[in-house]
Structure 1
Amino acid sequence: MDERSPHPLFEPAPSDAHDAEDAIEDLFTAYAGGFDDFDAAAIAACFAFPVTIWQAGRGNVFADEAELTENIEALLAVFEREEIVHSTYRTIEAAGDGASAFAVLDWRQEREDGEAALEFRCRYALVRIEPERDADGPVWRIAFAVND
């Protein structure tokens, strides 16, 4: 059997893999921060469009940032009513290279007193894209999410 190593273009250098891990971590930190700040625009900026989000057995496709922002604003209104003020996550699993990655995160959303209001697992498909806004290069964005 011919054992060949992958083509160098398809195998990220160790520093590239570390950079990707850091960039993906930054993405989810910004995402959680958007919830903590009740900033719908900051949350929406974490997504690529169109994006599909599955929750409670139902999928919703958001064609653009405006559609998703409207949905996020409604969600933040629920958070305000439920007094949810802080979101934390723990990365359970993450893998990827090149232009795509997958991540599984456990989320905890808490009230002011630290009591858990919501705890759930979410699976994400991420894409690395050239941003439309100012950036130093490709950025990671959420393309698909499934909430348990």
Structure 2
Amino acid sequence: KTFGKEIGKHQLVQQMIAKMSSNLEISRLLVYKAGWLKNNGKRNTRETSLAKWISCNAANEAANDAVQIHGAYGFSNEFPVERYLRNSKAPVIYEGTREVHTIMQAEYELGYREDKILRKMLPTWPFEEVNVETIKS
């Protein structure tokens, strides 16, 4: 409670929570799209990059907002939000920083980057059972 009412009753906190929720859904849809393309044996470099970039940024922003919502408790060990903030920073950095993914997405949009044509089909999911007898004949 702050100023005599629950923290969640403050409009700014509600705005932060709403942003966390919407970014979660956006990230989830981007990951599902990249996964669907991958499962169907289609190119997914652009979509995977976009999903990683947006999702990692969203997680880091959500953790940062959670620390702000908790105030001084956000840095204590009483609540796990300090750990969430620390853990959310690593994915922003590895597998390409947010700046690398930003440049990749801009290059795709501007037509400077294009995926090469596949030399062979990518496997789909679920993998089809391979009949050894068919291959031998």
**Do these two structures clear the TM 0.5 threshold for a shared fold by scoring above it?**
no
Please identify the structure whose Cα radius of gyration is greater. Answer: 2
| Highest RCO, 1 vs 2 (Cα 8 Å, sep ≥ 6) | 2
TM-score range relative to shorter protein: 0.3 to 0.5
* Greater share of residues in helix: 2
* Greater share of residues in strand: 1
